[in-house]
Amino acid sequence: MNNLLDAKSLMLIVVLSIVSNTSCSKPASSQGARPSANVTVARPFVKQIVEWDEYVGRLEPISTVEIRPRVGGFVESIPFIDGQIVKKGDLLFVIDPRPYESAKRRSAALVLAAEAELAAAKASVNATKAKQSESDAISVLAEDRFSRAQQLRRTNAISDEEYETRFSERQQALASKNNSLAQIEAAQSKVASAEAAIETAKAS
């Protein structure tokens, strides 16, 4: 056992001596220090930064309201600013009022014309009623004369010529009375038409 340990120790000594001889035999130039490298040194500093980037996009509102005018025309002014909060009843657009003012004046003139036509129609009704009263009186007189002529003819107290005259007067009085009634109806129709025209003009 001791012999084995001595042999191992001896071998270790031999190996170490070989290694030391080998390292010592190298030339001195290969064992020299390497040249130092150039190194840039920067001192760190503290600074607050904001990270940002650019993107191309489009903004859209959450909800939209489409505004449509109830009448046509040119927009004269817009009294609100985009993005402004508006409520019910606020003025949003002003449309050129000139065409509507012109139409209003034209309608007012139509109202006046229709009222004048109505007054003329009522006057015509009154005039025809007066003529009807006159025609009624003439018709009653002609009817009385014709009745007497009929009585006189039975007794041959009137000539045929006078009887024909009374008959003709009676027929003319009846025609005049019927004509007056027709004129009254026409005048009353004009009154109704003028009243309708007034309502139409007022509505427009």
* pLDDT score, position 7: 58
Residue 162 maps to which CATH number?
1.10.287.620
Q: Is residue 37 part of a domain?
A: no
Q: Are 194 and 118 in contact (CB under 8 A)?
A: yes
CA distance 150 to 174: 17
Total domains in the fold of the chain = 1
Residue 5: pLDDT band by 50, 70, 90 thresholds?
Answer: very low
Q: Is the pLDDT higher at 132 or at 89?
A: 89
- 52 within domain boundaries: no
Contact between 157 and 109 under an 8 Å Cβ cutoff? The reply is no
- Confirm whether 195 is domain-assigned: yes
Residue 189 within a domain: yes
Residue 183 domain boundaries: 98-203
Identify whether 63 is part of a domain.
Answer: no
Residue 4: per-residue pLDDT: 47
Residue 82 lies inside a defined structural domain of this protein: no
Burial class (CB in 10 A: 0-12, 13-18, 19+), 58: exposed
What value does the mean pLDDT take over residues 13-31?
A: 56
Mean pLDDT of all residues belonging to the chain: 79
pLDDT in tens, 136-195: 778 888 888 878 888 887 887 778 788 788 888 888 888 887 887 888 888 888 888 888
4 inside domain: no
Those residues whose C-beta lies under 8 Å from the C-beta of residue 197, and which sit 6 or more positions away, are 110, 113, 114, 117, 118
Report percent pLDDT > 70 for the chain. Answer: 84
pTM for the complete prediction? 0.44
Instruction: Identify residue 128 by its one-letter amino acid code.
Output: T
Per-residue confidence at 21, pLDDT binned at 50, 70, 90? low
Is 136 inside any structural domain?
yes
Q: How confident is the model at residue 29 (pLDDT cuts 50, 70, 90)?
A: low
